Amino acid sequence: MRGRETMGATLTREQAADRIMVALDYPDACAAEALIRRLEGVPCWMKVGMQLFYAAGPAFVAGLKERGYRVFLDVKMHDIPNTVKGGAGSIARLGVDLFNVHAAGGVRMMEAAMEGVEAARSGGGASLKRPTVIAVTQLTSTSQAVLNDEIGIPGTADNAVLRYAQLARQAGLDGVVASPQEVVAIKAVCGASFITVTPGIRPAGSATNDQSRIMTPREALEQGTDFMVIGRPITAAVDPRQAIETIIEELI
């Protein structure tokens, strides 16, 4: 998987759907399945986060893969390098397409994640696809005040994000999770092929909820983002199918 030039791009319906990662933020597999059935036939990604993965486990992810979905396993690993190496190997063997670690764990920890992936592939043979590995920079819920006064990182959120993105690139990762507001700067520093996955996507008129650094889907696309994570504007909509189709039309 490579980053793609997107500014000013004209997309087909399938290409637009491929940019959307639907956040399955549900407490159990049954609730998630109800949403998946309503989106059947839309060639989007499915993002499985901690809440659902802890409840439904690897079997749920395997089921998504059997149906042909691309899966982003959003577990944000952050631990000592050896533990992350082992966890990354387990995730690689699960067959997900993309997963993430926290850049705050440092270069050595991120390198260990890549080592775990390669070890799993060595043990699993050439048939085991290498997942894309990205790093979380700063959560899109992190405001300037939280960054400075609570986390204790000086400067702006943009500066912190760029620093983490450079560390992820140094460690050999494929890209980062960041807000859409930081995509242009990340691509300028790390290269156009460095993947950006952007939460904080809110269609016009949607509630911002707990997000601080947000953009509309079209704005994010024009900034050059590769993938956009969208949860509640789809999952909490009265008609989730219509909600995602409207977003796809906006991207086209």
Q: Tell me the three state secondary structure of residue 142.
A: coil
Which listed residue (76, 85, 129, 187) is catalytic? 76
- Write out the E strands in the chain: 20-23, 45-49, 70-77, 98-102, 132-136, 175-177, 195-198, 227-230
DSSP run (H or E) holding 214: none
Contact 140, 214 (CB under 8 A): yes
Handedness of CA 85, 89, 94, 98 (dihedral sign): positive
Closest by Cα among 16, 8, 6 to 249: 16
Active site residue 85: no
Long-range contacts at 150-159 (CB < 8 A, ≥ 24 apart): 157/182, 157/213, 158/182, 158/185
Question: Where are the extended beta strands (E) located within 62-214?
Answer: 70-77, 98-102, 132-136, 175-177, 195-198
Task: Give the number of other CB atoms < 10 A from CB of residue 71.
Answer: 24
As a whole number of angstroms, the distance between CA 221 and CA 174 comes to 19
Annotated active-site positions, please?
A: 76
